[in-house]
Amino acid sequence: GDSAKTYLVGEVDEEKKHLVEATRQSFYEGIKFARTTYRLSDISHAIQAYAESKGLSVVRDFVGHGIGKNMHEEPQVPNFGKPGKGPRLQEGMVLAIEPMINAGTYNVRILENNWTVVTVDGKPSAHYEHTVAITDGEPELLTIL
């Protein structure tokens, strides 16, 4: 499975608390649509709509993904987009759904080490990810302990 979480350490201001909680909740808003009656972009749209309703932005340069024999497989799972697009979700699909949400603009850049990603405006960012199996009923969270 694939999983990520942003942790708050020490004294943290309200802006960062809001960002981390909204990022976590945007994941749960998205998986409400992780059912066979929906399309992939319904998840994406729910994440974006929730984040933006909280005054935040959604990173466009990195997305979630399918997961199976390999860690990163098709389909790509954006955290933004219009509802009703993309493949219909099917029982047995396994997706890494991973909202990356920024307090400022959605634009990011990769530093010279080719690994570290930062927001272009220097504002904080948060990430929350779990691997989700599409079933014939409720989605199954495979990486929740």
Q: How many domains does the chain have?
A: 1
Full residue range of the structural domain in which residue 50 is found: 4-141
Under 8 Å between Cβ of 119 and 11? no
pLDDT tens digits, one per residue of 16-64: 999 999 999 999 999 999 999 999 999 999 999 999 999 999 999 999 9
Q: Quick one: how far is CA 10 from the chain centroid?
A: 25
Q: Are 34 and 134 in contact (CB under 8 A)?
A: yes
Query: ∠ at Cα 124 (121, 127), nearest 5°?
Result: 125
CATH number, domain of 46, equals 3.90.230.10
Show the tokens assigned to 47. 């994440």
This prediction's pTM: 0.95
Q: CA-CA distances (angstroms) from residue 96 to 12, 83, 121?
A: 28, 19, 27
